[in-house]
Amino acid sequence: MTPDAIAGLLQRQRTTFHSGATRSVAARRALLDLLDAAIRRHEAALFAALKQDLGKSDFEAYTTEVGLVYKEIKHARKRLARWSRPRRARTDLHNLPGSSRLYPEPYGVCLIIAPWNYPVQLLLSPLVGAIAAGNTAVVKPSEVAAATAAALQAMFDDCFDPALVAAVCGDAEFTSRLLDEPCDKIFFTGSVPVGRIVMEKAARRLTPVTLELGGKSPVIVDHSANLGYTARKIVWGKYLNAGQTCVAPDYLLVEGADRAAELVALMRTTITEFYGTDPLAAEEGSRIINGRHFQRLTAMLGDGDTSILGGRRDAARCRIEPTIIFPADPAHPSMTDEIFGPILPVIPRDSFDDCIAFARERPKPLAAYLFSESRANRARFLSEVSCGGGGINSVVLHVASTHLPFGGVGPSGLGSYHGKASFDAFTHWKGFLQQSSRFELKIAYPGREPSVSAVRKLMG
């Protein structure tokens, strides 16, 4: 798509938005229904594309991709009328008689840019919020998941008026040009370095942004944790989608060396239980997205490191078996950046205090997790570890809730979405004070100022 074509598409959507075509609750519900029907109509093609790009089974494609979008649509549709109503606010004494209200206003033309690791869910879930709030939207799938991008493009071309919702595909240079065009809201999910570029471009026009980024999400396992349960939860959450999940456990901090060794043994048993004695031999299974990322992970593992448990690779199929690094050195290459692959460093620490301190010394992550039966340790963790969100005796699953806002903090992101938070992410709440013309508080006018003591009593 040429720069002129991009500009023309955005202008066409702006004209549609200003016509009011997306503003009524009925129109928004109709678009949500259309999105639901479009996904169902193209579900088989999306499943096939996800298998081609990432090796996802139909079960995984449903439970981690389209099923979550269906749930977001249903949740938003049911509550849309309530979300869209103006909200009353208290009115200060000095503004009486009067009334205060907050009015939800859609931003306008929204740009949604998705990553490759969950290329359906992370494109369409934000779109649910954009539609529910009354916006038009241009969505940009990741070109890295090429088959899925093509399937999504076909779905939008088949089912949507591009003046309302349009999909555009292209490489990084195309995305850069897209970001140079004026829009009213940018929603980006991806890496921290690219997130910085998006924010820099948005800053030139002061365009509001939501950034869903990443980081190294820690798991702390204290002395009281149920290790068998912990092992199963961590193995599932870490190796889902071959570890290519932004909120996957990135590294483990375990209180006590003996407990760490016991947990690692249980995790290895669980890996065999979940993936078989030879995970690489399985015909189906999630794979690394491409050769470049496979080589990045291979370099992280190196050769001859006796702390690596597992680590076998199949370059032809871009697959790496579930791998544990134990005991991991905090200076190991896997501890530098977000791993985004099936590699899990396990670091023993002497005490719970050490675990907390280790996590706090690093940039604020997108997620953090604690496994503990101690109320005191749970309270400390929630109070002292800053993160976007997370779980206690749980990993990853908080992102599947329509009742919890999901987003980062600091370098792991800006803003949140899911459920009502998605509606708010694409809404400007404008505050208005309405007063009666039948009464004036004239003491505010020049020449009628009362004493400061009288004003103090009035304003508090």
Q: Identity (one letter) of the amino acid at 300?
A: M
Whether 212 sits among the annotated catalytic residues: the reply is yes
Judge if the upstream peptide bond of residue 327 is cis by omega within 30 degrees of 0: yes
Secondary structure letter of residue 444 according to DSSP? G
In sign, the C-alpha dihedral spanning 283, 287, 290, 291 is negative
| Rounded distance between C-alpha atoms, residue 396 and residue 247, angstroms | 6
Establish whether the linkage from the previous residue to 97 is cis, with ω within 30° of 0.
yes
Cα 284 to Cα 60: distance, rounded to the nearest angstrom: 11
60 is catalytic: no
**Pairwise CA distance, residues 268 & 1, whole Å:** 49
Closest by CA to 422, choosing from 214, 183, 110, 125, is 125
Q: 446: which 2 tokens?
A: 């020049």
How would you classify the pairing of strands 413-414 and 389-392? unpaired
* Amino acid (1-letter code) at residue 419: G
Instruction: Kindly name the residue from 110, 246, 318, 355 that is annotated as catalytic.
Output: 246
Closest Cα to residue 337, out of 225, 186, 217?
217
Radius of gyration of the chain (CA): 25
Helix locations, 111-216, DSSP H: 121-133, 146-159, 172-180, 192-205
Q: Is the separation of the CB atoms in 186 and 210 below 8 Å?
A: yes
CB 230 within 8 A of CB 371: yes
**Residue of 21, 245, 283 whose CA lies nearest to 121:** 245
What separation in angstroms does the CA of 162 have from each of 62, 149, 287, 404?
A: 26, 16, 34, 31
Pairing of strands 98-106, 87-89: antiparallel
Question: End-to-end CA distance of the chain, in Å?
Answer: 59
Catalytic annotation, pick one of 60, 65, 72, 212:
212
Active site residues: 212, 246
